[in-house]
Amino acid sequence: MTSIIPSGSLVWGLQLPVQSQSTVYCQEWEPDAGPDELARVAKAADAAGAFYVAVCDHIAIPQPLDQKMSGTWYDTIATLGWLAAKTTSTHLMSHVAVLPYRRPLVTAKAWVTLDRLSGGRAILGVGAGHVEGEFELLGLDFARRGAELDQAIVEVRDAFQNEVVRGAVVRPRPVRPGGPPIWVGGSSLPAMRRAARLGDGWLPQGPPKMGMRAALDFIRTERADAGVEEPIDLGTFTEPVHIGEPTWEVGEYTATGSPDAIAERMSRYKKLGVSHLQVRFPSRSCDELVEQIGRFGTEVWPQVTA
């Protein structure tokens, strides 16, 4: 287990639109969008220097939950594989892949292949899952999902690191030594403990009940108590960002203003000691989102890292 972000560095990434369309975060323009818009946003993030672009993982949403979560969830590995050919440097991440849905060896095969095809740009973000009806649909035990995830992480990492697993050969081999890093998602105590003890990184999903600073301290302490000496890539969400003075309702907690003002807000996250930020850009169209991403990469982020 090891980090992939250099010590003392801070990077940013974003979850892609269109691929998943939960009503919690979907923008009004997304239901009418498709692969062209998805590719445009990923290319814009790549050009703007985003460390990663991320997609979600659901297989089928039981009714009537689809009214809240939507039924549109492009397949995770197929989407990232398609985007690998359309980008050059940004990492390709699942936020998060529900490992209990699939046999660990199947997951490992898909992700070493993605890593090989993308030139070593895969990041496997993992989680236990939360839709009980989806587990039932797949014939899986929802109550065992945490234990299944723990075991899956161990088995997937084994296949990442070793060509021969239980007497069988797993090829192609990943580009990155040891395989894609495994970042554990979730803001519950079990998820944070799992990240500390089994992960190369942490992906929060919603604010931890204890607060972000306390959560980061908890993960560091748990990792030390487990005897894991390798550094871990710890992340956080920022507030939504809109560069400029909006003429429309962008949300109460959205950071707005000049690039200088936004850069000052983003710089505050350095005090948390995190290494990666996930940024969201409210938008009314794909054009506007692409424009905001470009400005963030060229006008804001250089000031943050200066």
**Mean pLDDT over the full length of the chain:** 97
251, 282 Cβ separation under 8 angstroms: yes
Query: pLDDT of 12-67, one tens digit each?
Result: 999 999 999 999 999 999 999 999 999 999 999 999 999 999 999 999 999 999 99
Output 1 or 259, whichever has higher pLDDT.
259
Report the pLDDT value the prediction gives residue 2, as an integer from 0 to 100.
81
Query: pLDDT of 138-184, one tens digit each?
Result: 999 999 999 999 999 999 999 999 999 999 999 999 999 999 999 99
Report the pLDDT value the prediction gives residue 283, as an integer from 0 to 100.
98
Query: pLDDT of 36-51, one tens digit each?
Result: 999 999 999 999 999 9
**Model confidence at 206: pLDDT above 90:** no
Separation between Cα atoms, residue 242 and residue 244, nearest integer Å: 6
Q: Which of left, alpha, beta for 18 (phi over 0: left; psi -120 to 50: alpha)?
A: left
Q: Which of 276, 223, 229 is nearest to 95 (CA)?
A: 276
Q: Count CB-CB contacts under 10 A for residue 163.
A: 12
* Mean pLDDT within 273-299: 98
**Model confidence at 1: pLDDT above 90:** no
Report the pLDDT value the prediction gives residue 150, as an integer from 0 to 100.
98
Q: CA 224 → CA 21, 150, 227, 271, distances in Å?
A: 38, 19, 5, 21
What structural domains and CATH numbers belong to the chain? 11-305 (3.20.20.30)
Report the pLDDT value the prediction gives residue 50, as an integer from 0 to 100.
98
Q: Under DSSP, is residue 12 helix (H, G, I), strand (E, B) or coil? A: strand
Q: If 0-12 CB within 10 Å is exposed, 13-18 middle and 19+ buried, where does residue 221 land?
A: exposed
Q: Please provide the DSSP assignment of 213-281 as one string.
A: HHHHHHHHHHHHHTT--S--EEEEEPPPEEEB--SS---TT-EEE-HHHHHHHHHGGGGGT-SEEE---
